[in-house]
Amino acid sequence: MKFTDGYWQLLPGVTELRPRQVDDVVATDDTLTVYASTAPITTRGDTLNRPLVTVTLHSPMDGVVGVTIEHFQGGLDRGPRFALHRDAGDVKIATPDLTGQAVATLRSGQLEARVATAGDWSVEFVDVTDGRVLTASTPRSVGVLTDADGRHFVREQLTMGVGEHVYGLGERFGALVKNGQTVDIWNADGGTASDQAYKNVPFYLSSSGYGVFVDQPERVSFEIGTEVVSRAQFSVEGQSLTYYVVAGPTPKDVLRRYTALTGRPARVPDWSYGLWLSTSFTTSYDEATVTHFVDGMAERDLPLSVFHFDCFWMRQFHWSDFIWDPATFPDPEGMLRRLKERGLRICVWINPYVAQRSVLFAEGKERGFLVKNPDGSVWQWNMWQAGMGLVDFTNPDAVAWYQDKLRGLLGQGVDCFKTDFGERIPTDVVWHDGSDPQRMHNYYTHLYNRCVFELLEAERGEGEAVLFARSATAGGQQYPVHWGGDCESTFVSMAESLRGGLSLALSGFGFWSHDIGGFEGVPDAAVFKRWLPFGLLSSHSRLHGSDSYRVPWAFDDEAVDVTRRFTRLKMSLMPYLAQAGRVAHEEGLPVMRPMVLEFPQDRGAATVDTQYMLGDSLLVAPVFSAAGDVDVYVPEGTWTSWLTGEQVTGPRWVRERHGFDSVPLYVRPGTVLPVGAHDDRPDRDHADGVTLHLVELPDGHRSTTRVPSGDGEAVFTVRRDGGVVRVTAAGTDAPWAVEPFGGRRVEVAAGSAEVVVSL
């Protein structure tokens, strides 16, 4: 939200209080509280009728410094609040009487906040390892504002340096770099073609080696270089604002700390990496249709892992009652058993609304499990289904009730849920726990997805739970997987979907998917075939549409061939992808990574949003044209095409032309790429028969490659000295192989722990 008319003047009707002079500093063992007057104090009389701004510094964990700015402190904290993982570590605090200088400091790990206690207001955030000021709050940064309508706001503006880029803020479909953008953190069901987003996260990551997380679940307005071009501004309505500065120095370090604070992604099951096929949204389907799709995939040798039933597995006007439409599915248990006998997992669509015709509506109303209006009546609307109410997940009994209904589906053979919706949450209602409706608007999806995910973990076990979720906010990355929402079936929408996924990745989300071919409309064959490699070289892959099927043979024979080629390619890469998934779970680094995350010092990579790294070693550049022309940015070094073996040396842009059965897929120099022995399914022992492909290993190379194997992992240590590579294995008794790219393959017998390869 903007408050000024240019740099010098406020907008008409806006008034502002700013900290001008530090009056006092109070230190405890772990906090530093600064009381700042809003005008210079020269006599006692100047303290009369003079507001104070209170700024408290604190630290939840090493390398993270929190700042709370307050005007009036008498308000009610009705919640909700983000659940943060706190481990303060060693916090060091110093005040002017200890330092002998006009500065008070709070240090957490390598990050130090320095508050000027004399002169103009200033707080600098410094990386003490090199003395570099990462960002700062300056004399005109903090503001307590009142607008012409009497609404109160608190604002902060943090400095941005020359050439600094800002990323993140959740799933955003515009340019990856957020400089020059105004972003409101407010979940909305707006598709992928506007500035609205399903997944809004009040966190941004700076190319200057830090991140900022605004710890406010309500609407947060960001002005990234748009109110003051050299400032990242954020504001909330109310009397207080809390934010955290997260140290780097690299973007990966920032994400590691941020996800340690807000939660790391859960470990997803291997079977979820396979191809998901959906009935689509409004298409007509029954068991015969589903069987026809599954048979068609098998007949065409197309590996399929998950079959998804979308909305109309339930009766129309009954969403959500979790009852199979008896006219369409007279024997759901038998149908699911028959599908599972073919090795498939089953996903069904759900949402948090309960239609008036649902048998659950009267039960939910009677038991107080539905969100209420201020007069005590059930909140309802007619969007999507007639008379829908909304489950109140702030009520623990409602959570248990909802989970119990889903538990019945798990007993029938369902394996996971597509948790759709969760964005259009009303703000004129009363919540069971008294939560603030404004704060609950974004946070609701967190409670919804947590409810379903925790049920799956309880019933299926840790590592076996997975969602296909659309909405999220900060912390939602703990409940994967998320998909990009309703996109159109065009090349332009394919590109905007990718930008949304990359922006989400830089907001702490480890796993992401999208609708191959687009959701709205019917893609032409060229769009579908170009989207296939992109979709199958994403962490998760789903064929899904709105009013048309997405089976490959609905387009042409070549689409079938392209589906087969890239599905089997993905399955062969499971030893690599499964380890990338473990890194997402253990470190908070996404499987699909913007180029800037892997190459933060490469200025050529800073703004690239048409390609990505899949894990840390594979570069993928989707093709956004029927003709097949594509520009690829290749970072420094000699990169090798995984599909053709051709090599290109960067840093530079390369223009290529690809057929529908190809895509730029480059292996990073210095890579040991583990490739599986099987390409028919994702859930095998990845170490059994794995081949380690050695790609452009420099002399002196030393690396460790971890390959998930059952509940453990096989660990391969690779060393190159001159023309000899020595590979040792631990943690596996299965056979394996080593193959220098373009060189002689060396088989290693089961039980062997070492091999020497001559280059």
Rg (alpha carbons) of the chain, rounded to whole number: 27
Given 486, 515, 520, 685, which residue is catalytic? 486
For 283, the token pair is 């298409």
Torsion of CA 634, 638, 641, 644, to 10 degrees: 130
> What are the DSSP calls for 244-278, one per residue?
EEEE-SSHHHHHHHHHHHH-PPPPPPGGGGSEEEE
Are the CB atoms for 28 and 22 separated by under 8 Å?
Answer: no
Show the tokens assigned to 746: 């060396």
**Count, residues in the chain:** 759
Measure CA 278 to chain center. Answer: 23
Q: Per the omega criterion (within 30 degrees of 0), is the bond before 552 cis?
A: no
3-state secondary structure (DSSP) of residue 204: strand
The label of the residue with tokens 């409602």 reads 398
CA distance 560 to 567: 10
Helix, coil or strand: residue 535: helix
Tokens matching residue 378: 């059930």
> Buried b / exposed e across 124-136, counting CB within 10 Å, b at 16+?
bbbbeeeeeebbb
- Residues 62 and 332: their CA atoms lie apart, in Å, by 52
Residue 486: active-site member? yes
Q: Bridge-partner residues for 108, per DSSP?
A: 91, 111
Q: What is d(CA 495, CA 500) in angstroms, rounded to the nearest whole number?
A: 9
497 close to 487: Cβ distance less than 8 angstroms: yes
Q: Which of 124, 156, 253, 420 is catalytic?
A: 420
Strands 702-709 and 712-721: antiparallel
In the 3-class helix/strand/coil scheme, how is 341-380 assigned residue by residue? CCCCEEEEEECCEECCCCHHHHHHHHHCCECECCCCCECC
CB–CB of 96/120 below 8 Å?
no
Half-sphere exposure of residue 728: CA atoms within 13 angstroms, side-chain side:
6
3-state secondary structure (DSSP) of residue 705: strand
Cα separations in angstroms, 140 against 158, 228, 511: 10, 10, 39
User: Which residue of the set 253, 423, 436, 515 is catalytic?
Assistant: 423
Q: Is 144 exposed, middle or buried (0-12, 13-18, 19+ CB in 10 A)?
A: buried
DSSP letter (8 states) at residue 314: B
Is the Cβ–Cβ distance between 406 and 452 less than 8 Å?
yes
> Could you tell me the two tokens for 423?
């964005």
Of the candidates 60, 3, 559, 552, the residue with the CA atom closest to the CA atom of residue 260: 60
Residue-wise DSSP of 590-653: -SEE-HHHH-TT-GGGTT--S-EEETTTEEE----SSS-EEEEEEEEEEEEETTT--EEEEEEE
* Whether the Cβ atoms of residue 456 and residue 402 lie closer than 8 Å to each other: no
Decide if 587 is catalytic.
no
| Joined tokens for residue 419 | 């948790």
Q: Is 728 helix (H, G, I), strand (E, B) or coil?
A: strand
Residue 375 CB contacts under 8 Å (≥ 6 apart), including other chains: none
3-class DSSP string for 30-72: CCEEEEEECCCCCCHHHHCCCCEEEEEEEEEECCEEEEEEECC
Note if 423 is an active site residue.
Answer: yes
Q: Which residue numbers are catalytic?
A: 420, 423, 486
